[in-house]
Amino acid sequence: MSLKNAISRLGRVPAVQKQFNVFTSLNHNAEEELKKNDLNGQEAARPLNNLLCAIKDNIATKELPTTCASKILEDYMSPYDATLVKLLKAAGAVNVGKTNLDEFGMGSGGTKSHFGPTKNPLFPGKDMIVGGSSSGSAAAVAADVVDFALGTDTGGSVRLPASYTSILGFKPSYGRISRHGVIAYAQSFDTVGIMSKEISTIQKVFKVLDKSDPKDPTCLDESSRAKLQTILPQEQRSKLRIGIPREFTPSGIPASSVKKFLSIVEQLAAQGHQFFPISLSDIKHSLPIYYTLAPAEAASNLARYDGVRYGVRDSKYDSHNDVLFAPTRENFGEEVKTRIVLGNYNLSSEFYNNHYIKAQKLRVELIDEFDSIFALPNILTGSKGNENGVDVLLSLSAISEPTSISEYETGDSRNPINSYVNDIFTTPMSLAGLPTISVPTGHSGEPVGVQIVGQYGDDDTVLNAVKDIW
């Protein structure tokens, strides 16, 4: 990417913002920063020089507000940069702005933002959903104003919008990228993801961000990373053993999506890759497991927003009817409030064992099921790997193509499960922390993606496999 090209892209940002509502705030010094990087003459030494990026607005930045697209943080300025923001700056990338999202990452349409819905650049003038929650990050890439964008993926929030905008959306293994400075929604799932149109860009950015961080105790430490190196294949496998999970081919998927999925299978088979039927019976229970655990973690994480120490505070009262901080917490959006209430239901003493603990146990069994079908060992669980197992799994990323914003909102208001179902193909990998990438099924802007999934830690195999499709 040349400096001239980067500056030209910056010039398109205002029009794109007006049309698709991509950003929550813009870096007005971006051009200056690009030129300064160029003058420093460090192009060769810095792997991301002249690359423009966008950062999801739930990742802390010192120089731009960090709002989580919530009224409750609408004027919040973080006193520090997230670890990954520092790493990107050091590598030469220039941030164009913070991107819109479903408030605190809670949503799959990109419609639940205090700043209004993001619109899908694939359908100009049609008000179609981008998918969420990393809606602005996906739209920024799709509209070609950045080279890559960072999102966060809790239950599919990078992969779903990637599928709906026909771009690549990579969720690495949980713990490979530091979460220090990433505002928690559900900390046992939250994973920083990378979106781009170029797999080589995703690989470069991942190399920069894939570092241990003592500031994040869930980030893989050096000894685990060393252990990982001992089990990973030393050379890229030219012929992969690919599993197709039976549970990922339910009825109700549009025939056009199934056709595109099969065309990718055909493409891969023609290159000599081998296909195997897989059964992972627990996969279809992933949604209720996920929607038991994630809101419980969210209820705990969002308890901190009381307005006393930072953020928006009610101008008159700190309590209402003996409910402390209720006037300030009224500034949460409806979806966030609903998930907090559900989370507290799951954590309350009457339901804790039947819901929360049961979901935790089912999550463990799902992880073990994944272990039993992969050839590679799992350094976290101690699984030795299945010698007859597969290298990667292949499935669709989403159950359908994007709908209009009004249709999405109508379905959601009738029954929240209608929108939760969008995550059905993405939550199993989030529960197990597996590396996954959504890849478009064609180069003509088809909003249908397929998902490549690898064993925990085998991110490189997942990324390398993209080259056989895209």
Which residues are known catalytic residues? 56, 133, 157
Question: In angstroms, what is the minimal distance from the CB of 295 to another protein?
Answer: 9
- Work out whether 262 is an interface residue with another protein (CB under 8 A): yes
- Work out whether 309 is an interface residue with another protein (CB under 8 A): yes
Phi then psi for 224, rounded to 5 degrees?
-70, -40
Q: List Cβ neighbours of 380 (8 Å cut-off, separation of 6 or more).
A: 433, 456
Among residues 287, 405, 453, 463, the one that binds another protein under rule CB under 8 A: 287
Please state, in angstroms and rounded to a whole number, the distance separating the CA atoms of residues 66 and 64.
7
- # residues near another protein by CB under 8 A: 110
Site for another protein in 77-116 (CB under 8 A): 79-80
Question: In angstroms, what is the minimal distance from the CB of 8 to another protein?
Answer: 35
Q: Give the residue among 456, 415, 467, 435 at the shortest CA–CA distance from 159.
A: 435
- Work out whether 352 is an interface residue with another protein (CB under 8 A): no
Question: Residue 397 is encoded by which pair of tokens?
Answer: 């990323």
Among residues 5, 40, 271, 354, the one that binds another protein under rule CB under 8 A: 354
Question: In angstroms, what is the minimal distance from the CB of 356 to another protein?
Answer: 9
Among residues 243, 402, 447, 457, the one that binds another protein under rule CB under 8 A: 243
Q: List Cβ neighbours of 112 (8 Å cut-off, separation of 6 or more).
A: 69, 102, 103, 106, 132, 333, 334, 335, 336
- Work out whether 285 is an interface residue with another protein (CB under 8 A): yes
Among residues 3, 231, 232, 258, the one that binds another protein under rule CB under 8 A: 258
Contact at 8 Å (CB) between 438 and 463? no
Question: In angstroms, what is the minimal distance from the CB of 265 to another protein?
Answer: 6
DSSP per residue, 352-403: IIIIIIHHHHHHHHHHHHHHHHBSS--TTT-----TT-BSEEEEES-SS---
Question: In angstroms, what is the minimal distance from the CB of 136 to another protein?
Answer: 25
Among residues 47, 65, 327, 385, the one that binds another protein under rule CB under 8 A: 327
How would you classify the pairing of strands 392-396 and 241-245?
parallel
- Work out whether 299 is an interface residue with another protein (CB under 8 A): yes
**Which segment (24-32, 124-132, 341-349, 401-409) binds another protein by CB under 8 A?**
341-349
DSSP per residue, 101-158: -SGGG--SSS---TT-----TTSTTS-B---SSSHHHHHHHHTTS-SEEEEEESSSTT
- Work out whether 271 is an interface residue with another protein (CB under 8 A): no
Residue 221 one-letter amino acid: D
Site for another protein in 366-395 (CB under 8 A): 367-370, 372-373, 379-382, 386, 388-390
- Work out whether 325 is an interface residue with another protein (CB under 8 A): yes
- Work out whether 275 is an interface residue with another protein (CB under 8 A): yes
Reported as half-sphere exposure (CB side, CA atoms, 13 A), residue 314 has a value of 16
Site for another protein in 406-465 (CB under 8 A): 414-418, 420-421, 424, 432-433, 456
How would you classify the pairing of strands 52-56 and 94-99?
parallel
Among residues 324, 384, 406, 442, the one that binds another protein under rule CB under 8 A: 324
For residues 243 and 454, which CB has a smaller minimum distance to another protein in the complex? 243
Neighbours of 240 (CB within 10 A): 23
With 0-12 CB in 10 A as exposed, 13-18 as middle and 19+ as buried, what is 191?
A: buried
CB pairs under 8 A, 24+ apart, for 414-420?
Answer: 416/338, 419/107, 419/108, 419/109, 420/108, 420/287, 420/291
**Which segment (50-58, 72-80, 113-121, 204-212) binds another protein by CB under 8 A?**
72-80
Question: In angstroms, what is the minimal distance from the CB of 371 to another protein?
Answer: 9
Q: List Cβ neighbours of 372 (8 Å cut-off, separation of 6 or more).
A: 383, 386, 389
Q: CA gyration radius for the chain?
A: 21
Please report, to the nearest 10 degrees, the dihedral formed by the alpha carbons of residues 270, 271, 273, 274 taken in order.
Answer: 20
**Which segment (97-105, 115-123, 252-260, 435-443) binds another protein by CB under 8 A?**
252-260
**Which segment (103-111, 127-135, 323-331, 443-451) binds another protein by CB under 8 A?**
323-331
Question: In angstroms, what is the minimal distance from the CB of 320 to another protein?
Answer: 6
Question: Residue 194 is encoded by which pair of tokens?
Answer: 């990378």
- Work out whether 185 is an interface residue with another protein (CB under 8 A): no
- Work out whether 179 is an interface residue with another protein (CB under 8 A): no
Among residues 3, 198, 310, 470, the one that binds another protein under rule CB under 8 A: 310
For residues 136 and 245, which CB has a smaller minimum distance to another protein in the complex? 245
- Work out whether 251 is an interface residue with another protein (CB under 8 A): yes
Q: Give the residue among 93, 105, 128 at the shortest CA–CA distance from 57.
A: 105
Question: In angstroms, what is the minimal distance from the CB of 369 to another protein?
Answer: 4
- Work out whether 357 is an interface residue with another protein (CB under 8 A): yes
Question: In angstroms, what is the minimal distance from the CB of 35 to another protein?
Answer: 27
